[in-house]
Structure 1
Amino acid sequence: MRIVGVMSGTSVDAIDAVCVEIQPSLQAGAPLQVQLLGAKTRAYPPQLRQRILEIAGGEALTLPELNRVDDAIAAAFAAAIADVAAGRPIDAIGSHGQTVFHRPPSGDRLGYSLQLGRGEAIAALTGIPTVSNFRAADIALGGHGAPLVPRIDALLLRHERERRCIQNIGGIGNVTLLPPLSSSEAVVGWDTGPGNLPIDLAACRLSGGKLSYDKDGRWAASGTPHHPLVDEWLEGEFFQQRPPKSTGRELFSAAYLERCLADCAAAGLSDCDIMATLTELTAVSIADSYRRFLPAPPDRVALCGGGIRNPYLVQRLQDHLDPIPVVTTAELGLDPDLKEAIAFAVLAYLRLHQIPGNLPSVTGASHGCLLGELHGDKNRHNVPQLLALC
């Protein structure tokens, strides 16, 4: 099957779209073969991105406004799909949508997660069957609905003998532990905490809005981390909580940053030291979660997500994990910038083949289940309308 996977992460940087061809593998232990045919990144219109950030930040909105933003995101996703489809016949779309709210389960209360950019609108705009709303079924079974990518990591990146951690550093960080194929140990994973989000928010705040991120980690690299503050922040409830666990902007928000900045001011830190300390929080929170919650250290850590473009952050993580080698998923044969979008193409493939897409050992759901809702006519392909979106 030829499937387009499309998503935008917590940082709301842009929409990533990939076109992949997926087929069962003839090789034992490798259930799927995934060939990347094309990839495109499409920026949100600036006003729409700003509105998404406001909504994700907790700003109130009316139901008509929610509908308008929902449809605008769907249209932006459809345009990204048109970019990557490039006239190719497409069998299906797997769309993660744009997360604007995520609440983990607590006690007897089910979790809740809202992704805008409704699949039925994408299916109508493109004329291609669309699978969306991937998190809801897992949440209904008591799970977190996150992270979902570990299922795909297990399908594509597990090794016969090597024990691997696949660490995504997006706005939020999440990890997948992949035991060797020869082991009976379960695949596990969880959100490790902040990724790029507090660093990006601080860059914007401290630069007076001139910067949206710390390019190459240069600002942080010019400072010195304040380790006592990092240790204090790591005493927070989320970092102490055992997996399964998930988080998002609701916790690591602008309000969280303001509390961190107040602590930094009390400690007399300069702006470059603040950036170094927040970057250190991301690196240490990842390494600390490994020590706390992994049954045994990995043989290798492979990174993906936007954080790989911050050499200072990657080096700090390597320092904290030494002597475990830290590489990117490119060394394992999977593009680290596109892995998340590829994952939702594969999740759509699983849904279309009636194969459970969640891992209860990761999400905490009571059992495996089909993920995603299917929209559109599987026999209808509106190529002219799709091309018109470009």
Structure 2
Amino acid sequence: MPELIPDSDLLQPPDFIQLLDEDGGRVPNPEFDRWVRDIGATELGALYDDLVVVRRLDVEATALQRQGELGLWPPLLGQEAAQIGSARALRPDDFVFSSYRENAVAYCRGVGLTDLVKMWRGSAQSGWDPASVGMAVPAIIIGAQTLHATGWALGAQFDGVDAVAVTYFGDGATSEGDVNEAMVFAASFQVPVVFFCQNNQWAISEPVGLQARVHIANRAPGFGIPALRVDGNDVLAVMAATRVALDRARSGNGPTFIEAVTYRMGPHTTADDPTRYRDPADLAAWAKRDPILRLRRLLEAEGLFTPEFEAAVAAHADAAAAELRAGCIALPDPHPLSVFDHVYTTPQATLDGQRDGYAEYLASFDSAGSTSSSTSSKGASV
């Protein structure tokens, strides 16, 4: 077994950006404090509301999967600050290319709550219209979205606009060829893209120290891309780092790599059992770094965490969870033949033949011998 990087070295190197410590106290940092000077009492309250709501949605979706209402769900428990802090730094005309775990980012981009679960319920091939929210549907192929983001950013550069592409991926994805190829291309053409790595310490059951002999952020300069390493459980630090990267991109200074050091508190997906490979003591240590608890302590210290505020946030979270559950259960089952829709933009003979063959197969289960219901969905929307 190769020697792993010690946890103490992995978590807090000298250049680790942190504006809130684990007890919610402000950590002075003149270089990055100025990027969040506009975040006052109202904005802090809104960030806390975001964190609580998306965690409640995540817990509800996990429960829906356990109850057989979803086929699968990728929990984001523990990673809320990394996603909220970065997503709330974006402009509407920026564009997000994510993996399958960025449901908090989708929430911030305005994706409907029911749309978050359509794909995982098997009711649609994708959850939402990317153009309407500035966010592509989740990429299941590990790292592929980084190529899409780089291409989009090149298009923005050609168009002469200052919109930025942001692509999210995990620590494991940095070992994929697609991510490395995307960084080579982005650096070569200095395109406006932010590579946002959520280092949640695990690529399914493989610890980050096994695949990374140096901090993941240290890889980016090898491609000619400056990197920031930030406390991913500190929503303010994440927002500051993301704003720095966005400003660089908008100013024509090319890509930036951000490594947000966080922790996946739950399983990789609801099909995973992390107790088989994860030390409970490690989980307990990270629980003390909880991003929601950290921001709550700051609000308490500043006299902003009132009973009325707490009740309002809890009510919002419960209402969102109820909407998610009701919307999920009410989703209609797609017609079986709709799987052939939207594969190609124009008619295609081979696909039409497959559709006809599948229609005949479905008709064989119809005791009445009618094929009208099986063939009427040609062109139906999913």
TM-score (norm 2): 0.23
Structure with bigger helix share is 2
Write 1 or 2 for the structure with the bigger share of strand.
1
Q: TM-score scaled by structure 1?
A: 0.23
Structure with greater Cα Rg: 2
